[in-house]
Structure 1
Amino acid sequence: MAVEWNKQETLDLLKELVEIPSPSGYTMDIMKAIKKHLSDWNAEYRMTQKGAVIATIQGKDQSRHRLLTAHVDTLGAMVKEIKPTGRLKLSLVGGFKFNAIEGENCLIHKADGTTLSGTILMHQTTVHVYKDAGTADRDENNMEVRLDEKAFSADEVRALGIEVGDFVSFDPRFAATDSGYIKSRHLDDKASTALLLQLLKQLKASGEELPHTTHFYISNNEEIGYGGNSNIPEQTAEYIAVDMGAIGDGQTSDEYTVSICAKDSSGPYHYGLTRHLIALANQHQIDYKVDIYPYYGSDASAAIGAGADVKHALFGPGIEASHSYERTHIDSLKAAGALLHAYVMSPLVTE
C-alpha cells in the first residue's frame, strides 16, 4: 500500500494544531498532543531537553540519515506590565509588528494553568474620543489588552491570578472555505507540521520502506531563532526545513504551489540538494516555485549556524500574509505533501 494524500485528515489535523495555543516558550500542551498522536501510530520518538520531539522511521540504509523539521511554536506575547487601569502592556514573542494583532482576541495563560480572555486594542481606540485614533503609533506604549473581567486596577488584575511574565496567545480563527482556502493564524508553521505528521502516520500504516533512516523533528523554538539547531543525529547527511513560502511583491511563491527556497537572509541553501528538490518536482509533475526570502530564517539555517555538517534545504506551502492573519490553499498543501513523499523515497544527493 502506497502513501496517498488525504485532504480531510490533513485539514482536521491542521485545525487541531492551530487551535492549541503554543507561543514560543509555552509549547507543552501541543507537544503533549503530538506525542499522543505518535504513540497512537506506534512511532518511535524521543524528547529533547529543550522540549522538541524527534520521531524516527528506520530505513534500508541506517548509516546515512535524513532529517525533516517543522516547528509548532508560534508568535505570541507575554505580559510586560499591569497598568493602573487594569489593562495589560505586552512584550512580543517572535518577529512581527503590533499592527498585525490589533483587534485580535487573546488568552492570558495564568500560572495555575487556567486562562482568561481579552482583546488586543489601541489605548486610543474610540474615534469619538481620541483624535489620533487612526494615526497614533501601533507600539507597546499604545497597544494593550482589554480583559474580559471587571478589574479596574493592577491589584484587581493580580487578584485574578495574572502576573508579569504570563504568556498571551492569539485566537487563530481557523476557517476552511468551500473554494479550498485555509485561513488562520499560525499556518506558519503548523501547516508544514500537519504535513510532516500525516506523512509519518501514512508511512507507518503503509509499511512503505524508506531508502534511508529518516527523522521527523518537531521543533518548538524556531520563532526565536534556535528551534532545530541541536540534537541532530550524527549520521544525518541531509537536513530539510519544511516551512512556509513567503508571498509578496517581487516573490514567485503563491498559495497554490510548493515553494522551494534557494536563499534567505542567512544565505544560499545547499545547491545540490535544492536542485534535487526541483528535479523531483519536475519528475513527479508537482507544481512548484523557486524563491528567495529576503527577511527570513529557518531551523535549517539555524542548524548550519550552529555548526551542523549537513546539506540543508527548505521548502513548504505558500502562505499569504505571513505573521498576520495567514492564508493558503489546499492545492499548496497537496503539492508540498507530494514533494515531501517524493523526497523521502529518493536517493541522497552525492554532491
Structure 2
Amino acid sequence: MPVIDLDYLRDILEELLRCPSPTGYTDEIAHRVCKEMDRMGVPYQLTRRGAIRARIKGEASKPARAMVSHLDTLGAQVKSLKDNGRLELVPIGHWSARFAEGGRVILFSERGAYSGTVLPLKASGHTYNNGVDDMPVGWDYVELRVDAYAKTAGDLEKLGIEIGDFVAFHPQPEFLDNGYIVSRHLDNKAGVALMLASMKALVDSGRKPTVDVYWLFTIAEEIGHGATSILTPEIASLVAIDNGTTAPGQNSDEFGVTMSMADQTGPFDYHLTQKLVHLCKEYNIKVRKDIFRFYRSDAASAVEAGADVRTALATFGVDASHGYERIHMHALRSLAELCVCYALSPVEIARDAREFASIKGFTHQPTEEADQDLVPEVSEPDELSADAQS
C-alpha cells in the first residue's frame, strides 16, 4: 500500500485551516486546493460556483468511484448594524452561539477586512456582576465588536460594513506532539487534507487505480447542498469523507476509521459500506461502526438530488464537533490509507458500470440463518441466584 506522507498531511491541514471559508465565501480555498492539484499534476474542473471535480484515471472508466469532502465551514453573517456600534449576527450552518462567544473573527466587507470579537450582550463582570452568567445561550444574545472606531450604526456604515457581510471565525489550531489536533473547522478541513494526502500517495506511487477515481470538493455542505450537482453519470459509488461524532452514547473514536452505518437520512449502501469495512480489516486499519442521529453529509445531498449512486460515509472521530474540535493524526492517517486502498481495490459489482440493466449480476444480501457451529459456546450457570429465581 502506498505510504501516506504525514508531514504533508499536517502541513496542508494547517494551511487549509488558516484559509477562511465559511459557506458562501469559498473562492480562495478553491484556489488553494486547485493549486495543490496543479502541483500534483492531477486534472480537474470547477463548477460555476467553485466546487471541484478532479480525476485520476484508472484501468477502466466505469464503474467510476468518487470520494468527497467539503471546503466550506461554519461561520456567520451580519444581520443588522446596531445603534451601539456593534453587529447582530446570524449563523452560517447549524451551530451553537455557545461556541461563538469569545471567538476572534474576520469580517469581510467590500471595502476590506476587519478583525473583531463575538461577545455576549452582557460581557463585563465588573458592570453586570452575576448578570453575565445569567445570560441565555443563543444568537440573539451575542454581538460582534469590530476592532475599529464604531460607537453608532452610522460609524459602521462609514467603515463600509453592510448587512450580509461574511464573518469567519479564527480556527486557533494547535498541533500537539502527542498527535492530537485541536481547532475549529476540522469539519471538514481535515477531510480535505487527508484526501489530498491520499491523492499524493497514489500519484507518487505511480500505481493506477482499478477504475477512474473522482476526488470531489464541495462548497455548501454545511447548509445542506453538498454534492448535488458535481457527479457524472459514470460515478457508481460515492464515499463521503467527514467527521465522526465522538461523544458519550456514540461508538466513534479519535483513532482509526469510524464507518457510519446510517445518519438522519437513513442507512448507507450495504455493499459499499461492507467493502470499506473489509478493506480496513484486510489492510490492518483499525475500524469501528457508528450511527449518527443528527447528521447529514455530501452523500445524502447527492441522493436527494436524484443521483443513483451507492453511498457510504467514512469518518475520523471528532470530539466536540461544531465547537472547539479535537482529532488525532492516527484517524487521519487511517482514513487516508483507506482512501488509497479503495482506489486500488478490484471492482466487485461489474453491473454498476451501467445505469440500467437486467437482473443478471444484481447483488444479494445475506438472508440465511447463521451457522451455529461458528458461534462460541456460552456456558450457563449451574443454578440461578435467589434474585433471578424470584
Q: Deviation per CA, 1:174-222: give whole Å up to 9, x if none.
A: 1100111001111001111001111212322322110010100011100
Contact 2:51/2:230, CA 8 A, preserved across alignment? no
Match runs of 1:74-223 below 5 Å: 74-112=73-111, 114-130=112-128, 131-223=130-222
* Matched residue SS, 1:240: strand
Alignment partner, residue 246 of structure 2: 247
1:16 CA drift (Å)? 0.3
Pairing 1:49–2:79 present:
no
Tell me the C-alpha RMSD between the 2 structures: 1.1
Alignment partner, residue 369 of structure 2: none
Alignment partner, residue 376 of structure 2: none
* Matched residue SS, 2:19: coil
Match runs of 1:323-338 below 5 Å: 323-338=322-337
1:19 CA drift (Å)? 0.6
Q: Distance in 2 between matches of 1:133 and 1:83?
A: 20
Q: Distance in 2 between matches of 1:349 and 1:174?
A: 41
Match runs of 1:19-30 below 5 Å: 19-30=18-29
Contact 1:66/1:215, CA 8 A, preserved across alignment? yes
With normalisation by structure 1, the TM-score equals: 0.97
1:146 CA drift (Å)? 1.2
Match runs of 1:4-23 below 5 Å: 4-23=3-22
Alignment partner, residue 64 of structure 1: 63
Contact 2:4/2:201, CA 8 A, preserved across alignment? no
Q: Distance in 2 between matches of 1:284 and 1:38?
A: 27
Q: Distance in 2 between matches of 1:104 and 1:159?
A: 24
1:335 CA drift (Å)? 1.0
Counterpart amino acid of 1:118? Answer: G
Contact 2:202/2:340, CA 8 A, preserved across alignment? no
Unaligned runs of 5+ in 2: 350-362, 364-390
1:349 CA drift (Å)? 4.2
Counterpart amino acid of 2:119? Answer: L
1:128 CA drift (Å)? 2.4
1:281 CA drift (Å)? 0.7
1:64 CA drift (Å)? 1.5
Q: Distance in 1 between matches of 2:153 and 2:348?
A: 59
Q: Distance in 2 between matches of 1:179 and 1:210?
A: 34
Unaligned runs of 5+ in 1: none
* Matched residue SS, 2:227: coil
Q: Distance in 2 between matches of 1:152 and 1:302?
A: 43
Q: Distance in 1 between matches of 2:134 and 2:335?
A: 41
Q: Distance in 2 between matches of 1:140 and 1:17?
A: 27
Q: Distance in 2 between matches of 1:70 and 1:276?
A: 20
With normalisation by structure 2, the TM-score equals: 0.88
1:161 CA drift (Å)? 1.5
1:69 CA drift (Å)? 0.3
* Matched residue SS, 2:311: strand
Alignment partner, residue 264 of structure 2: 265
Q: Distance in 1 between matches of 2:7 and 2:61?
A: 33
* Matched residue SS, 1:91: strand
* Matched residue SS, 2:83: coil
Counterpart amino acid of 2:89? Answer: L
Structure 1 segments, 4+ long, off by >6 Å, are none
Q: Deviation per CA, 1:127-155: give whole Å up to 9, x if none.
A: 22223211211223220011111211111
* Matched residue SS, 2:127: coil
Q: Distance in 1 between matches of 2:265 and 2:140?
A: 32
Q: Distance in 2 between matches of 1:191 and 1:140?
A: 27
Contact 1:120/1:146, CA 8 A, preserved across alignment? yes
Contact 1:276/1:349, CA 8 A, preserved across alignment? no
Q: Distance in 1 between matches of 2:5 and 2:260?
A: 25
Counterpart amino acid of 2:124? Answer: T
Pairing 1:299–2:298 present:
yes
Counterpart amino acid of 2:266? Answer: G
Contact 2:120/2:141, CA 8 A, preserved across alignment? yes
* Matched residue SS, 1:49: coil
Q: In 2 relative to 1, CA 96–349 (structure 1 residues): closer, same or farther, beyond 3 Å?
A: farther
* Matched residue SS, 1:244: strand
Contact 2:5/2:201, CA 8 A, preserved across alignment? no
